[in-house]
Amino acid sequence: MMLKTPILIVNFKTYSHSTGENALKLAKICDEIAKKTGKSIAVAVLPEDINTISKQISIPVLAQHVDGIEYGSHTGHVLPESIKNHGAVGSLLNHSEDQYRFRDLKKATMRMKETGMISVICAASPRMSKKVAMLNPEFVAVELSELIGGDVSVSTAKPKIISKTVKIVKRKSPNTVVLCGAGVNSFDDVKKALELGAQGVLVASAIVKSENPKKVIEEMVGAF
C-alpha cells in the first residue's frame, strides 16, 4: 500500500487537544475534509487511540512510534503487528522528539516492511535524510528541530534544506517520497514546500492547537 501524494500528515503528538476523545474529533474533521475535497490527508496518533479512530474514519491512520521487535518478551514496546491489527497502515519513526539509535531504526523499518506497513522516517537534517534514505522507506520527512512548534516554517526559514533533501533522498532511493515539516502554518508554507520539491507536509501545532482546525486544514490542502 502507498499513500496518495501530495499529502498532509497531521501529527497529533500528545497534546490534550488531540488525544483520547479529542483525537477522535480531530480525526473526524480530517476525514470529512479529505472526503469533501478529495485531497490526501493522514493522521498520526498515539497507539492507544489507533483502534477507536481507525474504526470510525476512512483516511489512513499511522502510529507515531513503533519498535523493531517481534512477538515475545519486550515489555513496554510497540509491536508492529499490534498497531496493524488495530488499523494502522504505517508509522512515523525517528521523530526528533523520539529519536532511535540507527540500528534500532533499521530493525524497525525492516519490521514495517515485513508486516506490510508504511514507514515515514523523520530526519533532522539533509545529512540524516541521506542516511535514512538508504533504508528505502516509503517516506522521509525532513524536520529541523529548532523550528518545531514555532510559527516560522522550514520552507521560509531554510528553503534550501528542502530542495537539498529531495535531491539527496531521490539519489539514494528514487521511490521514496520526501515530506517536510516544522513550523508549517499556512497555505503559503505548503505551496512553497511543494515548489521546492516536497510531496507533502507533516504538521502538528498549527492544526492541533488551532481554535478552528477545520479552517487551517482546508487552507493547507488548498495548496495541493
Q: Is residue 204 near ligand G3P by the rule CB under 6 A?
A: yes
- Matching residue, cell 501524494: 5
Both ends of the chain: CA-CA distance in Å? 21
Residue from 53, 32, 51, 52 nearest 41 by CA: 32
Q: Is residue 50 near ligand G3P by the rule CB under 6 A?
A: no
Active site residue 17: no
Q: How far apart are CA 71 and CA 53, in angstroms?
A: 24
Q: Sign of the C-alpha dihedral, residues 16, 27, 215, 194?
A: positive
Q: For the chain, how many residues are written?
A: 224
Q: Is residue 143 near ligand G3P by the rule CB under 6 A?
A: yes
Q: How far apart are CA 220 and CA 34, in angstroms?
A: 12
CB of 223 to ligand G3P, least distance (A): 15
Find out whether 27 and 208 touch, Cβ atoms under 8 Å.
no
Q: Is residue 178 near ligand G3P by the rule CB under 6 A?
A: no
Find out whether 38 and 51 touch, Cβ atoms under 8 Å.
no
From the candidates 95, 114, 146, 211, give the one annotated as an active-site residue: 95
**Of residues 83 and 204, the one with the C-beta less far from ligand G3P:** 204
Instruction: Determine how β-strand 118-123 pairs with β-strand 40-45.
Output: unpaired
**Of residues 89 and 203, the one with the C-beta less far from ligand G3P:** 203
Q: Is residue 194 near ligand G3P by the rule CB under 6 A?
A: no
- Piece of 16-24, 123-131, 162-170, 179-187 that binds ligand G3P (CB under 6 A): 179-187
Q: Give the residue at shortest CB distance from ligand G3P.
A: 205
CB of 72 to ligand G3P, least distance (A): 30
Q: How far apart are CA 182 and CA 201, in angstroms?
A: 9
Q: Is residue 105 near ligand G3P by the rule CB under 6 A?
A: no
Q: Is residue 203 near ligand G3P by the rule CB under 6 A?
A: yes
**Of residues 34 and 184, the one with the C-beta less far from ligand G3P:** 184
Q: Is residue 183 near ligand G3P by the rule CB under 6 A?
A: yes
From the candidates 65, 86, 138, 143, give the one annotated as an active-site residue: 143
CB of 71 to ligand G3P, least distance (A): 29
Active site residue 65: no
Please enumerate in sequence order all residues whose Cβ is within 8 A of that of 107, keeping only pairs 6 or more positions apart, or say none.
68, 69
Contact residues toward ligand G3P (CB under 6 A) are 11, 95, 143, 148-149, 181-184, 202-206
Catalytic residues: 95, 143
